[in-house]
Structure 1
Amino acid sequence: MTRQEMIGALRRMGFSHLPTASVKWKGSLHLVVASETLVVLIRSRGVDILLTPSPPKSLLDANGRVSVRASEEGVRFGEYNYTDSDIDIHSSVVSHAQEFAQGLKLDESYFVRKGIGRSEWGAKYGERSKLKEREDGSLRDIYDAVGSGDGEPAYLGDGMWIGAGGRLDDRS
């Protein structure tokens, strides 16, 4: 299934377009069922899904664009990268959206990371694309402030994650 076919299928299900605040996403589609909103965020290198108990209006910035806050309570976020993904991303997103539109509870396994992002691509496929390790104290302090304390990376927003040692990782 192509990206355009996915968008067409989502629109036929009742998803509506909203512009996005971040240039990371080319656009978004959303649907409200009961008290939850499913947002499908379209990137040049993948598709993300965000499930939130918040109504669409509360997701908008002052300019009326979707501002993603994946770390808020009750929000579930799935990141589907095209590179090295083991699934048909567009078909999977449509399948998840169909379940949501039918009022079914979405499985936690949908809110994972599939494939690799730009920085992992660089590390795996291109020497010039590798991110530089940044281990200075100020970035470790940032991790200490936003991390859960379990040593796992913490999501900062707009595809940026920070590791326990203060290393930044752009997964957009």
Structure 2
Amino acid sequence: MKKSITLLFLFITVFFAHAQNSAKSKTVSTTKGNLAKDTVKGFAFVAKNQVVRDTIQDEVVGKLKVYKKSVHASYYADKFNGKRTASGIKFNNNDYTAAHKKFPFGTKLRITNEANGKSVIVEVVDRGPFVRSREIDLTKRAFMEIARNRGAGSMIVTIEEIVK
């Protein structure tokens, strides 16, 4: 009887811990670089100064300012997980972050795949990419959210800065 009560208690504890972790993954936290994704599809035809809302939190994020169109984006390799970025935080391929050569750390960008119109909101936390043909490096999670072909290593995107 004690074993079954203990097992039931353990099961309930694990279940609630998993439920809390699932709820935390949908929040916006700019201190660690975890940003909720922009899940609106077909959002490529947005006016230049339209207000952008976070679709999960339904809070105003800012206005869009087009930085560049038709540029190459790639994603980080898994070997960089746990290493420090140029901003000093630990890199995690499951966050919604990016590396850019010029944007200040903490800048929020909306990256839109031009092939399918899917977009994601990321925060700049690192410098790079150090390849001339590429403009931005995304985390693997952000890249796969908007990729048309999951096997591709790069894609053509539009970069828009979110200004308040």
**Normalised TM-score (structure 2):** 0.28
**Normalised TM-score (structure 1):** 0.27
If each structure's strand is expressed as a fraction of its own residues, which one has the higher value? 2
If each structure's helix is expressed as a fraction of its own residues, which one has the higher value? 1
Which structure has more RCO (C-alpha within 8 Å, separation ≥ 6)? 2
